[in-house]
């Protein structure tokens, strides 16, 4: 169900909106309400709404100010501004704000239902798209391809989880979890393993540390040195010296 929050300093207006809409038929539920923008900002993290109805005219923090703050924090939050006739043109002037709809008070049930039906359609599309992007279809085979890609491209210092996820068309956080499940190693651990295995080969050939660091995609020699010691248990110079007598 999609989560809805109602922000209005008039209790009667909040009650009317809550009781006049068939939320269940819209696959929605009202998860919370607030009497001011400030109160709303303080509880929005706990409520995690998908849709917010907010009155434009409230004390302390009005609907426009709330919208500015809330949409900076939650880019995908859907805002519906409720406004009286006198404030309607003022609301319309705020076109730069990411507001989906401006609705005149007192609300009309049919109009609100139509707006919410349209919003639900957009949210359903977004969810479907997100599910696809999240890589619900990632298989062991896809992970094998990614592992092969890392083995072939670990020398690129710009390679990271996000860039690889974008390359294969997956959501980074989902890929991270799936990679760990399938391989037993985190994405970063596997990438470092690729780099350190090659670094050991180059160290065995007596290559200087800063050259090896660059060659395996870690141009910062200090960070490379820490990675190498953590991976092998000894410093790069100690490893090179241990190989020189062989």
The full DSSP string for 191-245 is: HHHHHHHHHHHHHHTT--HHHHHHHTT---HHHHHHHHHHHHSS-HHHHHHHHHT
How far is it, in rounded angstroms, from Cα 186 to Cα 16? 51
- What radius of gyration, in Å, describes the C-alpha atoms of the chain? 27
In this prediction, residue 238 has a pLDDT band, given cuts at 50, 70 and 90, of: very high
Q: How far is CA 72 from the centre of its chain?
A: 13
Q: For 2-133, CATH number?
A: 3.40.50.2300
For 205-235, what is each residue's pLDDT tens digit? 999 999 999 999 998 888 899 999 999 999 9
Q: Check: CB of residue 82 under 8 Å from CB of residue 100.
A: no
* Token pair belonging to 55: 């009155």
Instruction: Look at 81-85, 106-110, 150-154, 192-196 and tell me which has the smallest mean pLDDT.
Output: 81-85
* Two domains, one topology: 2-133 and 140-244: no
pLDDT at 135: 45
pTM for this model (two decimals): 0.55
For 105-163, what is each residue's pLDDT tens digit? 889 999 999 999 999 998 888 777 655 554 455 677 899 999 999 999 999 988 888 78
Q: Where do the domains of the chain lie?
A: 2-133, 140-244
pLDDT at 217: 92
Pairing of β 28-34 and β 51-55: unpaired
All residues at 6 or more sequence positions from 209 whose CB lies less than 8 Å from its CB, including other chains: 203, 221, 224, 225, 236, 237
CATH 1.10.3470.10 fits 140-244, yes or no: no
All residues at 6 or more sequence positions from 19 whose CB lies less than 8 Å from its CB, including other chains: none
For 3-34, what is each residue's pLDDT tens digit? 999 999 999 999 999 999 999 999 999 999 99
How far is it, in rounded angstroms, from Cα 36 to Cα 79? 15
Determine the 3-state secondary structure of 125 from DSSP: helix
Question: What integer best gives the mean pLDDT of the chain?
Answer: 87
* Token pair belonging to 107: 């609300």
Q: Check: CB of residue 147 under 8 Å from CB of residue 180.
A: no
């Amino acid at each position: 169900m999609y989560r809805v929050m109602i922000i209005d300093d008039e209790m009667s207006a909040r009650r009317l909106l809550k009781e006049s809409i068939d939320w269940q038929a819209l696959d929605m539920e009202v998860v919370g309400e607030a009497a001011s923008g400030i109160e709303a900002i303080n509880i929005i993290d706990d409520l995690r709404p998908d849709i917010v109805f907010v009155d434009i005219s409230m004390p302390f923090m009005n609907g426009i100010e709330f919208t500015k703050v809330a949409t900076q924090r939650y880019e995908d939050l859907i805002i519906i501004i409720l406004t009286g006739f006198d404030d309607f043109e003022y609301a319309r002037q705020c076109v730069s704000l990411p507001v989906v709809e401006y609705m005149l008070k007192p609300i009309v049930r049919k109009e609100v239902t139509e707006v919410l039906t349209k919003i639900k359609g957009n949210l359903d599309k977004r969810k479907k798209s997100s599910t696809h992007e999240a890589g619900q279809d990632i298989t062991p085979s896809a992970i094998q391809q990614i592992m092969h890609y890392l083995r072939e491209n670990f020398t690129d210092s710009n390679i990271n989880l996000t860039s690889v996820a974008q390359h294969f068309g997956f959501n980074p956080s989902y890929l991270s979890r799936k990679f760990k499940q399938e391989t037993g190693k985190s994405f970063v651990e596997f990438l470092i393993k690729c780099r350190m295995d090659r670094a050991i080969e180059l160290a065995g050939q007596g290559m200087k540390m800063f050259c090896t660091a660059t060659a395996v995609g870690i141009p910062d020699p200090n960070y490379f040195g820490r990675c190498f010691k953590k991976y092998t248990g000894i410093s790069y110079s100690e490893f090179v010296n241990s190989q020189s007598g062989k």
